[in-house]
Chains A and B, each alone.
Chain A
């Protein structure tokens, strides 16, 4: 792992113990310049983690608690009539000048607000009253959604889930992590200990370097075959979209970069496959009793991996 990123990880771990893999995954998404959907029960430290990460990287952090009456203009800002000047003045919203936005309980927001947020995520700009405002760089949204069944919630529409790079889940801490957390928080808040170990500009540079990570054709071939296999799987109603394939490629690159390599291997693709694709695949009604993860595992198992292909088919490029 690259030392600078390792430092970020260690800082974040000061606050939330025992969640190294999830933090790594969020870092990967950050490097890939994508957005994260956290799918979890309340109170497992989603906000704490986001705050810690933004402090460690020196990002401007904003938190938006979504409720049914949050409006798009709360996010994008709005124009207000200024009596003295006799003109409309733009009042920035929550997304303006923010690097890391935590959208809490995004599935409680009305759909127009959701779409405003997702548009900003996709386009990296917002348009208010005909004026386009670019968002800060880097810009990352960590959205959380409560599990279905909680009062007043419903799952995000499929098309909107597709825009998140990865869907992750923190889960409850184990015994030791919880003991450590309880001990640490007896008299102080460990979040105040987090220091800036990476600058914003460094992160932007890293994102550029991620884009330059080398991907051989055999890896692209693997991604394509995985995607196609998801379309042909008998239990899958909606398979991995082309955007999903694109995100898979990008995340695999970020993963390779995180591990200090400048080339992507088949293992990178396999490592990020479930996180990137689980929320893009819809199973048929007839596939009851099978989870998406099982189907994705099956895809990985059945699709010939690039190592094998490259070695045995002589695909190697010089």
Chain B
């Protein structure tokens, strides 16, 4: 549970980072990424750990029929006693009432066996009851987006809705308006209704069929459809959307507490994302635009063609004292340029969000600079470590020295044969590559036994063991180096750093 929560946090952080990236680049990738992230199997496994019982295994329905009072008295289940009938089957109660021996037609155990289904058999499908609901939901899933695409009103409304949401999120990003000009007075109601109905249908479909793949497919379709028509939601909306999808994807039904905690988490993250990474601030943007307007007006004025201005812009020009075109125009224009430039610089002085961006950029460039040298640094570090390890060969404690030497031998063997990693050392003797001479396996086993004794028995080893181990190491090195091809030699030298 703890790990799951951490993974959630990581995922949300990633989503926030993506949002940051989106703000920086003006692309619309968060929607796709946040939607697709839970699709990637390792992510899904990490985020939504399977529960104990597995996915679709509903507990088998045990319809044990409770013995209904009065049912036993029904005379349909009994017949008169015949010689040879088991005594246990005699219906004593009825017999006492009727004055003759009556026998149950079937033993009660049998009815129990018939009604109780073993737990391992698959639960029965109830096609009639579910099929209808599934069909209706599926139809709704397909019909609503189709309607959304076909009815111009709804489409415009959706565009308008997205743009408004977008504008609300990104404060003053003209991007959406620029690409998708939509009248402001367009009603967003039908679009919102249709969208919610679609989402609701997908959710219903997932819950009813129990198939997450279906729901996911439809959700992705929906997302693609949104992207195709330019209906991109702002990032916080996407995070919530993706979160809802994730809840749908989760392998087991969530408890209310989990759901509530998850909802609060999602909301907090969304609000935090919206607050902390708001994109360009509305006021900054407005001021910057105004400054830019003034600059363009100035340049127009400098061109000396006041006639080319339209009536509407003349008004603006009159408001601004700098743009008055009279005597000493050149100097004044130049000064005005300077002023405006300074103003703009002040306006666009990096806020702390931009500092973050700068830091990110710097880190990235540093990484790019350092990366080519990384292998050399790594190899050097490894070589140093290998040398240190070799120093242990001369250790005073024989046991320690033998262990160090043996460790080296094993590293050689592991380097020569990949995949033999988790093997007990005494088992190496059987799995040695066939390049060694006959006596080698025996020497290796003896050395392994000595190391085992040192490791687990805690006793010290005689001095001649050291020489034996050193001989073994030399032999191993010689044989492995002789048989290795160029690639293996390279690996031995630089990856494993085993050669002196």
Contact = CB atoms under 8 A, between A and B. Distances in A.
Interface of A: 214-216, 218-219, 234, 237, 261-267, 270, 284-286, 301-305, 307-308, 310-312, 316-318
Contact of B455 (A237, A286, A311): A311
Contacts of B406: 311
13 contacts: A214-B456, A216-B455, A262-B457, A263-B453, A263-B456, A265-B452, A286-B57, A301-B422, A310-B455, A311-B407, A312-B407, A316-B399, A316-B455
A237 B400 CA distance: 43
Interface string B445-481: 0000001111111100000000000000000000000
Interface stretch (B190-198, B302-310, B423-431): B423-431
Interface in B40-63: 50, 52-54, 57
A261 B457 contact: yes
A263 B456 CA distance: 6
Contacts of A215: 456
Contacts, number: 67
A27 to B, nearest CB: 21
B410 interface: yes
Contacts of B452: 265, 267, 307
Contacts of A302: 422
A47 B213 CA distance: 57
A318 B400 CA distance: 9
Contact of A216 (B119, B422, B425, B458): B458
B350 interface: no
B455 A218 contact: yes
A307 B454 CA distance: 11
The interface centre, meaning the residue of B422, B425, B456 with most chain A CB atoms within 10 A of its CB, is B456
A311 B403 contact: yes
A183 B403 CA distance: 51
Given A263-B458, A311-B403, 6 more contacts: A216-B455, A216-B456, A267-B424, A284-B54, A286-B54, A316-B399
A316 B452 CA distance: 11
B422 A214 contact: no
B203 to A, nearest CB: 26
A234 B406 CA distance: 36
A267 B426 contact: yes
Nearest to B460: A318
A285 B120 CA distance: 7
Nearest to A314: B403
B422 A308 contact: yes
The interface centre, meaning the residue of B403, B423, B424 with most chain A CB atoms within 10 A of its CB, is B424
Contacts of B407: 311-312
Contacts of A286: 54, 57
Nearest to A316: B455
A215 B453 CA distance: 12
A304 B57 contact: no
B320 to A, nearest CB: 72
Nearest to A317: B458
B200 interface: no
B421 interface: yes
B456 A264 contact: yes
A317 B397 CA distance: 12
A265 B426 CA distance: 10
Dominant secondary structure of chain B at its interface with chain A: helix
B422 A304 contact: yes
A312 B426 CA distance: 16
Nearest to B411: A312
Contacts of B423: 305
Contacts of A218: 455-456
Contacts of B54: 284, 286
B458 A214 contact: yes
A284 B120 CA distance: 10
B427 to A, nearest CB: 8
A308 B425 CA distance: 8
A107 to B, nearest CB: 20
Given A285-B120, A311-B451, A316-B400, A219 B456 contact: yes
A251 B410 CA distance: 28
A267 B427 CA distance: 9
Contacts of A219: 456
Contact of A305 (B53, B119, B422): B422
A266 B453 CA distance: 11
Nearest to A271: B424
Interface in B14-60: 50, 52-54, 57
Contacts of B455: 216, 218, 265, 307, 310-311, 316
Contact of A270 (B399, B424, B456): B424
A318 B458 contact: yes
Given A216-B456, A216-B458, A265-B452, A308 B57 contact: no
Interface string B154-167: 00000000000000
A307 B57 contact: no
B421 A316 contact: no
A42 to B, nearest CB: 28
Contact of B50 (A216, A234, A285): A234
A62 B50 CA distance: 50
B243 to A, nearest CB: 26
B408 to A, nearest CB: 10
B368 to A, nearest CB: 34
Contact of B424 (A234, A266, A316): A266
Contacts of B422: 301-305, 308
Nearest to B456: A263
A307 B456 CA distance: 9
A303 B456 CA distance: 19
A263 B426 CA distance: 15
A74 to B, nearest CB: 27
Given A285-B57, A307-B452, A312-B407, A214 B457 contact: yes
Contacts of B119: 285
Nearest to B55: A286
B258 to A, nearest CB: 21
Nearest to B45: A234
A214 B454 CA distance: 12
Given A285-B57, A286-B57, A316-B400, A265 B421 contact: no
Contacts of B410: 311
A283 to B, nearest CB: 12
A318 B454 CA distance: 9
The interface centre, meaning the residue of A218, A263, A307 with most chain B CB atoms within 10 A of its CB, is A307
Contacts of B50: 234
A234 B55 CA distance: 13
A192 to B, nearest CB: 40
A312 B422 CA distance: 12
Contacts of A234: 50
Nearest to A269: B424
The interface centre, meaning the residue of A302, A304, A316 with most chain B CB atoms within 10 A of its CB, is A316
A72 B120 CA distance: 34
